Amino acid sequence: MSDSTSGAAPLNWQPPRTGSTLRAVLCIPVGVLWCMLNLPWMIATMTFTPRYFEKHRTRITRSWGRGLLKIFGIKLELHGTENRDLEGAKILAINHVSIVDLFVYSAAWTDHGTMIYKKELGKIPLMGHVMRMIGFIPVDRSDHRASVKSMAEAADKIRATGLSIWIAPEGTRSRRGGLQEFKMGAFHLAKQTGAPMIPCIMRGAGEINRMGSKIIRSGTIRVDFLAPLETSNWTRGDLRAQAVELRKTFLKYLPAAPDTPTLADYARAEAAAAAAQATRATE
């Protein structure tokens, strides 16, 4: 794994060729064994030596993710880590591709971190138990009231303890690939806390774990932590516009999901709105 600091993220980065299906299949039992050995150890550590776990939480979390990446032959390139490592509370806005995201963001974990995850992941044996014990925040996306309650809990934790929280504004991964439209939860969270929002652009994961496949190939994943967005001056009335602006930033690096607005669509809409405003001004 490689880390680097500042420098503009290239718009046209392309991942190297991925490894073979045979290698990927042979790695599955090793990856399962790694989880079977590490997750019970993490549960025991949190249960019997909680102070040790709290002191080494970041290192332990990163080790779990980096171990899985190594097993599957995935090279992780992190860029802009000075933005990830800013002092104090922050919201790390990530794009959601597949189960590989969990490996990647665990390997790239930040101090005082937590994560909002969909409730269904809590059903995974051992992993779900670990996520609850660590203090990750589940969201039931089928229940709006429960989802709002989870976001309020996250806001309270951020304000009280200065947590860094990882959240996918898309809500869930696309079933057809590409970046989906953003839901409003992350933006309400930013409004409630005033914590800066760090756009985290992940590329290469879709090639390593292709849509609809359970095979995780070897290859390279790149994550760019972009400059933080100031949210303390956001108002409730402009949150939807802020969501569009953030999605436009992501779309500079990622393709849009089918049947969702592209950068060109946003540009046409803005041009039409400007023309309409100019016409009204001359009337």
pLDDT at 95 over 70: yes
* Position 5 in a domain: no
Half-sphere exposure of 100 (CA within 13 A, CB side): 34
For residue 86, what is the domain's CATH number?
3.40.1130.10
pLDDT of 225-278, one tens digit each? Answer: 999 999 999 999 999 999 999 999 999 999 999 999 999 999 999 999 888 888
CB neighbourhood size of 30 (10 A) = 13
Half-sphere exposure of 125 (CA within 13 A, CB side): 5
pLDDT of 119-152, one tens digit each? Answer: 777 777 777 778 878 878 887 777 777 777 778 8
The whole-angstrom separation of Cα 26 and Cα 218 is: 12
For residue 197, which amino acid is it?
M
Rg (the chain; Cα; Å): 20
* Position 215 in a domain: yes
* Position 10 in a domain: no
* Position 59 in a domain: yes
Domains identified in the chain, total number: 1
> Domain range holding 159?
18-258
